[in-house]
Amino acid sequence: MMRLPQVEPLPKIPPRISIYEVGPRDGLQNEDAVLPVEVKAEFIRRLVACGLTTVEITSFVHPKWVPQLADAEQLVDLVYDDPKVRMPVLVPNERGLDRALDKGIRDIAIFASATETFARRNLNRSFEEQFDMFEPVVTRARDAGMRVRGYLSMCFGDPWEGAVPIAQVVRAGVRLTDLGCTELSLGDTIGVATPGHVVRLVQELIDVGLVAEQLSGHFHDTYGQALSNTLAAMRSGISTFDSSAGGLGGCPYAESATGNLATEDLVWQLHGMGIDTGVDLDKLVETSVWMAEQLGRPPVSRVVNALS
């Protein structure tokens, strides 16, 4: 068995790619099982030991909405101690920001929608009202010296509205960056994007003044397109990608959404193009197999299944 791909560089790819690991937050929030906080802490420690330098660890959301993450403060106390590793926390509103500030968090994310229906279902706000809700969150966070990532969901399709006009996604992305978001994650929440769609959206965002370095890709594999869409985004200049160890995760508010792009699948592709991620792939596979055992189900990552 080959445990490493043959290396053949690909032209027009950024020389350095950053992996934004979302398994502990976006992955575990969509699992039926509620894991003990000690298991979550061990998961995060193992991910960091694999060489991942950005790991989104939890969300300061009300336990009523995401009971899987009800132990957010306890988890932060257990793992938030390495200044060399980015450990962002998702905050849904000002109350969530207050909790993050109380814990000394340096890096937060907010979660917005490119569509009206999802904004109402997920945030209980209209498309326009969501920006009013986020404005004080972003302003206060930036004033406190925090980095603020803006997740933009439903960028490529919405299960209730269908196709989403690219101009509407661009408008939402510009609103988030104008509020002060330092990074914009383009979410294919239900996994319907294709490479041409990705290239067009990235280009239109660049045409209105955003730069590729501000953008990240967040692709789901519902239709088996996550890796091809990631490659298309790389060739458009994007150099940060969200992924989830073992392919954990999805979206609890979008029934058709399957797992995120698996971190192992992304690392295999990057290593094959000669891009050094700093990630120990064998260790990462071991970590995902271990987490799958905790959850009582097999990992969905193709690379994990091939190498384990």
Please check whether residue 4 lies inside any domain of the structure: no
Q: Could you read off the pLDDT of 107-159 as tens digits, one per residue?
A: 999 999 999 999 999 999 999 999 999 999 999 999 999 999 999 999 999 99
Judged against a pLDDT cut of 70, whether residue 279 lies above it is answered with yes
Question: Beta-strand (E) ranges in 66-146?
Answer: 89-90, 107-113
Confidence label for 227 from pLDDT (cuts 50, 70 and 90) = very high
Domain count, the chain: 1
Q: Is residue 302 part of a domain?
A: yes
Residue 252 pLDDT > 60 = no
Structural domain includes residue 3: no
| pLDDT recorded at residue 82 | 86
8-state DSSP, 6:
P
Q: Over the stretch 171-191, which tens digit does the pLDDT of each residue have? A: 999 999 999 999 999 999 999
CB-based burial of residue 94 (10 Å sphere; 0-12 exposed, 13-18 middle, 19+ buried)? middle
Tell me, yes or no, whether 186 lies in a domain. Answer: yes
DSSP helix/strand/coil, 273: coil
Tell me which residues are annotated as active site. 251
Residue 5 lies in a domain: no
Looking at residue 175, its amino acid is R
In a domain, 299, yes or no: yes
**pLDDT for 124:** 94
For residue 95, give the CATH number of its domain: 3.20.20.70
> Residue 3 above 90 pLDDT?
no
pLDDT at 258 over 70: no
Is 10 contained in some domain? Answer: no
Sequence-separated (6 or more) residues with CB below 8 Å from residue 125: 119, 132, 133
Q: What is the pLDDT of residue 2?
A: 81
Arithmetic mean of pLDDT, 208-218? 97
Residue ranges making up the domain that contains 103: 18-307
pTM of the predicted model as reported, rounded to 2 decimal places: 0.96
Paired tokens of 141: 């966070």
3-state secondary structure string, 287-304? HHHHHHHHHCCCCCCHHH
In a domain, 266, yes or no: yes
Query: Residue 254: pLDDT band by 50, 70, 90 thresholds?
Result: low
Residue 177 φ/ψ, nearest 5 degrees: -70, -35
